[in-house]
Structure 1
């Protein structure tokens, strides 16, 4: 069984004026990300929207020392970006579409993601979203350590750091046994 993880494709991470934006590279993956997400939903597969959620005055969170405030609860910055927002709105009531608020890079850290996947007997995880070298990578590492097979939809992931993006793809493939696939090539 397989599931798709849609990681952090939000206004703050993708819009030109987002607080921690990937900008044009993040915007360029929208079509592939939306296409693969719709395909998974239409096939009745489990689709998880794993979305960063931070509090404005959380002085204890370590990211506050590394990045500007982003994906703050109750702000536009935390909303899904572009056409992906429409896909979620259309399908959010379906039992196989699930939203997870995450506080850390990995979608597994402090969430019930592993339980939700195991109760559905999911073995294969398809990763999409941003940032390839941060949240996507950390999710992939935890997935690997938990025994999941990892597939990275390479035309549906991106970062604000092109070197980090390329390194993370190579690392997930070479070190985590991940398989790189392409939505646009029909893989």
Structure 2
């Protein structure tokens, strides 16, 4: 049985669409590579989980107090980018309201029920949602693997600082090509 899952973090329209409320051009750059990773992971029958940042419309959310409103239910901004197709039978879509995909969600339960040990992470923002999810995955005894050319934030220096910290303290950092090579050798599953 496959013990590795792909987690796609917050690749929703507010982050990926130029008309989105918190759009970063870097997300358009990584989107095609994330699509390639998604396709390759599916070829290897890997569990795919989409984390979907989604704030409740017209309800208080402490997370939005210090930031621009974004990813509000019903606005379309919290919809997964159409380049990344969701398989409604096999994939999980987990809504989240905090940086970490583990806080207030059933992500840990889904991973444990599927006997997952390794989590491959791609998406946005390296310094917030990627970092928080990696940290919690580490504390929950998963092995986080961040695909460096499939994560981004709005500042490349900040992106690199967080990737360096993740590699040093929390998990592995590899490129998409390194991931593909490992998958082809059967070393990830």
Provide the C-alpha distance between the structure 2 equivalents of 1:112 and 1:150, rounded to a whole number of angstroms.
Answer: 18
Answer yes or no: is the 8 Å Cα contact 2:96–2:103 preserved in 1. Answer: yes
* Maintained 8 Å contact 1:29/1:156: yes
Is 1:119–2:113 an aligned residue pair?
yes
Q: Distance in 2 between matches of 1:184 and 1:119?
A: 29
Q: CA offsets per residue over residues 30-56 of structure 1, 9 Å max, x none?
A: 111011111112221111001111023
Query: Is residue 2:32 matched to residue 1:39?
Result: no
Q: TM-score, normalised by structure 2?
A: 0.89
Matches within 5 A, 1:1-187: 1-22=3-24, 24-59=25-60, 61-84=61-84, 87-88=85-86, 91-94=87-90, 97-176=91-170, 178-185=171-178, 186-187=180-181
How many pairs are equivalent? 178
SS of residue in 1 equivalent to 2:119: strand
TM-superposition CA deviations, 1:92-113 (whole Å, max 9, x none): 222xx10101111111001111
SS across alignment from 2:145: strand
Cα RMSD of the aligned pairs, angstroms, is 1.3
8 Å CA contact retained: 1:55, 1:73: yes
Q: Is the 8 A contact 1:19 1:77 kept in 2?
A: yes
SS at match of 2:80: coil
- Alignment TM-score, normalising by the size of structure 1: 0.90
Unaligned runs of 5+ in 2: 182-189
